[in-house]
Amino acid sequence: MAEVLQQLVNAVSLGAVYALMALGLALVYSVLGLINFAHGELMTIAAYTLVFSSAAHVPLAIGLALAIGASVVAAVLMERIVFRPVRGSGPMTLLLTSVAISIMIQTAFQMLISPLPRGADLPDFLYQAFDLGPVRLGVLPLISATTAIAGSWIVVKALRATNIGISIRASAENFTITRLLGVPAQRVVIWTFVLSGAVAGLAGVIWMAQRGSVDPLMGSTPLLKAFVATVLGGLGSVPGAILGGFALGAAEIVLQAFLPPELLPFRDAIVFALVIAVLTVRPRGLLPAKLGERV
């Protein structure tokens, strides 16, 4: 029983982080139909910012703010410089563009900083654990989970209640109609990237803390998880992305715990195979975006 609870906690913790990663990707896709291959790099940018600020002895709280700010700025710049000129192109062109910028950012990190990983110098207390009844809780997973859940919740709330959030949802469903109602398209797009960047920044910081280090290519794995989570949840659907993230996290934890040792190296392969199996039965994902959806 304690074992189950423990795994539950782990699943929630991992799932929350994946959900956060998927959320950022889903936001941009829902509005622009663009799968941002460079989303992982936004996370890396935040991670590097935090590492450098803590190396410069900047207080952690400020470092965090800087990190998230950096990824927001990067996201907005990405939109302005890279994606706006090719807007309206076919999905393949958009994809290739985001791939190009992803490669360039990774290479820039390798050239300007270092291809080698750099340790994150985070406070020790994060790596401790304490017991709560039968369950052992690590401080970092706990903080990651709560932050990730809080972050997702804030975004969902914002989408529901704020003017810009409603505009984003409206644009995601039908950009043309939304513009006909007078909503400024360009501003909506920028804010979408702002949100996406902020979420990516938070996810990047959490991811880095869990890995303990930062390197130029660290964005690839989160990107893949985010991809798979969004498709699992229903491409273009924000609640779907969150659900997909949790489902993916849960699947990984469950398999990690219950797979025989010979099969453990194949864990990720099996998880993805399961995802493909789910998609065979529900091609539009667990929580598809909408009736006339953008697929």
Partner 1 sequence: MLQLSGVDVRYGQIQAVHSIDLKVDAGQLVTILGANGAGKSSTLRTIAGLVRPSAGEIRLDGVQIDGLPPERIARLGLSFVPEGRGILTTLTVEENLRVAAIGARATSDFDGRRDDVFKVFPVLGERRKALAGLLSGGEQQQLALGRAMIHKARLLLLDEPSLGLAPLLRDLVFAQIVRLRDQGATVVLVEQDARRALAIADWAFVLNGGRKVLDLPASEALSSYRELEAAYMGSARH
Partner 2 sequence: MSPPDVVRRVMSWANALPLILVLLVAAHGLLALLGPGENLFVTTLFINMILVLALQVFVGNTGVVSFGHGAFVAIGAYASGILTMPLATKAAALPRLPEALRGVELPLPAAIVVVVFVAILIAIPVGVPIARLSGAAASIATFAFLVISNGILVGWADFTRGTQTFYGVPPLTTLDVALAAAMVAVVVALAFRLSSFGLRLQASAEDELAAAASGIDVRQLRLVAWVLSAAIAAVGGALLGHMLTSFAPGTFYLTQTLSLLTMLILGGSRTVTGAVTGTLVVTAVFEGLRRAENGLDLGSLHFSGAYGLQQLGLGVFLLVAIWLRRDGLIGDRELILNRLWARRSMVRRADRPRTNPLHDDEGGNNE
Binding site for partner 1 (CB under 8 A): 163, 166-167, 169-170, 173-174, 176-185, 289-292
Q: Which is nearer to partner 2, 191 or 205 (CB)?
A: 191
Question: By CB under 8 A, is residue 186 in contact with partner 2?
Answer: yes
Question: By CB under 8 A, is residue 283 in contact with partner 2?
Answer: yes
Rounded Cα distance between 146 and 20, Å, is 11
Q: What angle do CA 31, 33, 36 make, to 5 degrees?
A: 100
Binders of partner 2 among residues 199 to 228 (CB under 8 A) are: 220, 224, 227-228
H-run or E-run covering 226: helix 220-233
Question: Minimum distance from CB of 76 to partner 1 (Å)?
Answer: 20
Tokens describing residue 221: 């794995």
Backbone angles phi, psi at 168, to 5 degrees: -65, -45
Question: By CB under 8 A, is residue 62 in contact with partner 2?
Answer: no
Q: Which is nearer to partner 1, 183 or 214 (CB)?
A: 183
Q: Which is nearer to partner 2, 133 or 292 (CB)?
A: 292
Strand partners, 130: 137
- Using CB distances below 5 to 8 A depending on partner kind, what does residue 169 bind out of partner 2, partner 1, none? partner 1
Task: Find the binder of partner 2 among 59, 91, 119, 134 (CB under 8 A).
Answer: 91
- Using CB distances below 5 to 8 A depending on partner kind, what does residue 162 bind out of partner 2, partner 1, none? none
Q: What angle do CA 213, 75, 49 make, to 5 degrees?
A: 30
Rounded Cα distance between 144 and 166, Å, is 28
- With contact defined as beta carbons under 8 Å apart, do 30 and 172 qualify? yes
